[in-house]
Structure 1
Amino acid sequence: MEGLLKKTTGLMGLAVCESPHEEPDVKNLEDQLQGGQIEEVILQAENELSLVRKMIQWKPWEPLVEESPANQWKWPI
């Protein structure tokens, strides 16, 4: 399978990544990751990196500026 390049991911809006990894056998890499196609794994990693950058700005670990309403986290509403 080495040297075989994908022509499509089969997923609308998700293009084939031309250089997903240094490993020549991308199918083997996808099987090892068990996360779908390599393009999906790359997209998920980019989304997680974006979230990390937002969390750094939002600082959710810091105390609230105001106290939350008494039953805000009570379930069911």
Structure 2
Amino acid sequence: MAGVLKKTTGLVGLAVCETPREETDLQKLEDKLQAGQLEEVILQAENELSLARKMLTWKPWEPLVEEPPANQWKWPL
């Protein structure tokens, strides 16, 4: 890639990714994904990977240690 094609994402706290993918037409890729800017997609993927790693520790698929209170999910409280 010849360099960064955009100077800013226009989003506070989200810097331009200098090498998001080995493709010359990043705008075409963003249009194809229809999920926002590539920087947003990368950030979301990193967050999902972080959550997946935490879930390995939490093991939410295992049974509860103790039963929840009878009206725990009753609305309104």
Alpha-carbon distance in structure 2 between the residues aligned to 1:3 and 1:45: 23
| Structure 1: tracts of 5 or more residues without a match | none
Asked whether the 8 Å contact 1:3–1:24 carries over to 2, the reply is no
User: What is the aligned-residue RMSD (CA, Å)?
Assistant: 1.6
Q: TM-score, normalised by structure 2?
A: 0.92
| Percent identity of equivalent pairs | 78
Alpha-carbon distance in structure 2 between the residues aligned to 1:70 and 1:41: 41
Relative to 1, partners in 2 of residues 1:3 and 1:50: Cα closer, same or farther, differing over 3 Å? closer
Asked whether the 8 Å contact 1:16–1:39 carries over to 2, the reply is yes
Alpha-carbon distance in structure 1 between the residues aligned to 2:38 and 2:15: 11
Which of structure 1's runs of 4+ aligned residues deviate more than 4 A?
none
1:18 corresponding residue in structure 2? 18
2:49 corresponding residue in structure 1? 49
1:69 corresponding residue in structure 2? 69
The residue matched to 1:28 in structure 2 has which SS?
helix
1:8 corresponding residue in structure 2? 8
| Structure 2: tracts of 5 or more residues without a match | none
The count of aligned residue pairs is 76
Asked whether the 8 Å contact 1:17–1:39 carries over to 2, the reply is yes
User: Which amino acid is the alignment partner of residue 60 of structure 1?
Assistant: P
